[in-house]
Chains A and B, each alone.
Chain A
Amino acid sequence: MKNVLVILFVAIFFWSCDTVPKATVQFKVQLLAGTTPLNLNGTHTNPAGNVYSTQHIEMILSQIELEGTSGWTKIGDFMYYNPENPSTLSAEIPAGHYTALRFRFGVCPCQNANVPNTLDCRNMEWPQQLGGGFHYMKWEGTFQNNGSTDAFAVHLGPTNGTDFSIQKTLISHKDYVMDSTTDLTLKIDLHQFLQSPNAIDFKTLPAGIMDNSAIQTQIQQNAQDAFSL
């Protein structure tokens, strides 16, 4: 009799587990230059009026979570993103209603040891001489400067060991109902990194910003408004 009860209990337990409905969220990133999608084969004009083209951009997001009726659910620890070969972070989560996204732009130093040992992520390493850790973003390109072509390189990361990563929580204006497979796209407006409260002009951006805490601070302040759903 005792054995029968144990078997019944185990069966009910597994039956219960199986019946928790699941959904798949496909987390994507879209890069914007102002209101238009970033064009890697064309030019844009940034808020300072620089006509520029992007040759290369890549970034790391981390600690990506969704808030639903039962609290926060992790959808990924890290996501490397490069629009030349765009990745999607796919996760199975409990089906239900979700209203907020929480993530970190970049990597918290406390997570450095957990960054995946892949070529993409390793290429984001930030040299020990400059504080160690990982680039949050590499954004490189050229711009027109009084008739000649100059380069810009917005390399964001833990300058001198200071954590400039940005943790954001975005409350959705709509209720995401995850019941099967649902796309969730994080929009990142690159122009917001350069605009307010600190106007940044490529013409006056120092050639090297990886050891410049002042610039890293300014861009971190600007980037607070760069993210939306």
Chain B
Amino acid sequence: MVFVSLGVMSCDKNNAPTPHNFSIPNDFPPILQPTDNLATEEGISLGNKLFFDPILSKNGQISCASCHAPEDYFSDKKRFSTGFSGITHRQSMPLFNLAWSPSFFWDGHANSLEHQALFPVEGQNELGESWDAVIAKLQQNDTYPNLFLKAFQSRSIDKEKVTKALAQYQRTLISGNAKFDSVQARLAQFTRKELGGYNIFNTERGDCFHCHGTVLFTDFRFRNNGLDAIPADSGYYLVTKQPNDIGKFRSPSLRNIAFTAPYMHDGRFSTLSQVLDHYSDGVERSLTLDPIILKRINKQFTEAEKDSLIAFLNTLSDPSFRTKHLQNP
């Protein structure tokens, strides 16, 4: 009797998924994972497979990676992405350092990665499938039930487990190995031009840091950055229904910005020069224009300042992140 009990206990222990140890870049804040979805090696591996598998789409041809391609830092080079039936109406955001984000999508309509992963499956201009159909396909698949068993100790698949696995995988997309980080660690030095850009960025001359500060290069807040006098897309207002939030979108991280064009929620700018031209003399006034942006109106950048800022922004690129995740799938 004792022998049998010990045997069963050992089996349970052997089947338990292996906790994942995150490798957090120097000076980043700690990761706050939901207590009911702590990352495991098996969960991450499953999420990785699901992310690249077109089984989640109605036509079996589109995966998460179709619009969030690892070679493009998990973003899309196209202004709008092509989904099951039509194109998206916002630019596909790059995916990295999501483990620190308190909200998701340009308008913040999801408050966790698990919550976020619910939406694209049923979006007609994304994967265009029903969750019931996705679950049925995964359940009937030769491989997935065993992978779910390893990750969640059950062959029974539901959308909660699918979104949990996707969230676990996406939390591992961590980018913090840019030249900027080497400079902070005193392992490298900025060039004269990069340093000039860094100083403009971090003083009220450029005043970039109030929206794109900290090691994450975003404050994760929602702001109207003056793209339109009358915003065509109401942005954060669609979530809060507060008139003060019309035309506000989440400040994106500037890490890897050199490789994640096009820019803005609608991908209207294809180069960093165009972005700086906007902040220099293209800002449109509106009722909800952010005070930090409004304060900058009529403070044009010189061409030399723009060059310096771009040189600094290029130091935020982390090619090792791209290389690592190109190999991963």
Seen from chain A, the residues whose Cβ lies within 8 Å of a Cβ on chain B are 41, 55-56, 117-119, 122-123, 125, 127-130, 138, 140-142, 149-153, 155, 207-211
Contacts and interface: CB of A to CB of B under 8 A. Distances in A.
Contacts of B203: 127, 129-130, 208, 210-211
A119 B220 contact: yes
B244 A55 contact: yes
Contact of A125 (B204, B213, B290): B213
B29 A118 contact: yes
A18 B85 CA distance: 67
A135 B160 CA distance: 40
Contacts of B137: none
Given A122-B213, A151-B294, 18 more contacts: A41-B242, A56-B291, A117-B30, A119-B100, A122-B215, A123-B214, A125-B213, A127-B209, A142-B291, A142-B294, A149-B287, A151-B295, A152-B291, A152-B295, A155-B210, A207-B204, A207-B299, A208-B203
Contact of A122 (B202, B214, B221, B295): B214
Given A41-B244, A125-B214, A117 B29 contact: yes
Contacts of B202: 127-130
A40 to B, nearest CB: 8
23 contacts: A41-B244, A55-B244, A55-B291, A119-B100, A119-B220, A122-B29, A122-B213, A122-B214, A123-B214, A125-B213, A125-B214, A129-B202, A140-B291, A140-B292, A141-B291, A151-B292, A152-B295, A153-B292, A207-B204, A207-B299, A208-B205, A209-B204, A211-B203
B300 interface: no
Interface string B280-298: 0000010101111011100
B19 interface: no
Interface residues of B, dominant DSSP: loop
A23 to B, nearest CB: 30
A182 B220 CA distance: 34
Nearest to A210: B204
A119 B204 contact: no
Nearest to B219: A123
A83 to B, nearest CB: 14
Interface residues of B, number: 32
Nearest to A152: B291
Contacts of B290: 55, 140
A218 B100 CA distance: 37
Nearest to A119: B29
B294 A149 contact: yes
A184 B244 CA distance: 31
B291 A208 contact: no
B301 to A, nearest CB: 15
Nearest to B102: A119
A61 to B, nearest CB: 20
B199 interface: yes
Given A55-B244, A128-B202, A151-B292, A208 B207 contact: yes
A207 B100 contact: no
B213 A207 contact: no
A122 B97 CA distance: 15
A50 B103 CA distance: 35
A45 to B, nearest CB: 18
Contacts of B213: 122-123, 125, 127
A209 B292 CA distance: 12
B279 to A, nearest CB: 14
Contacts of B221: 56
Interface string B8-42: 00000000000000000000011000000000000
A128 to B, nearest CB: 7
B239 to A, nearest CB: 14
Contacts of A207: 204, 295-296, 299
A13 B255 CA distance: 56
Given A41-B244, A127-B202, A207-B204, A153 B214 contact: no
Nearest to B198: A129
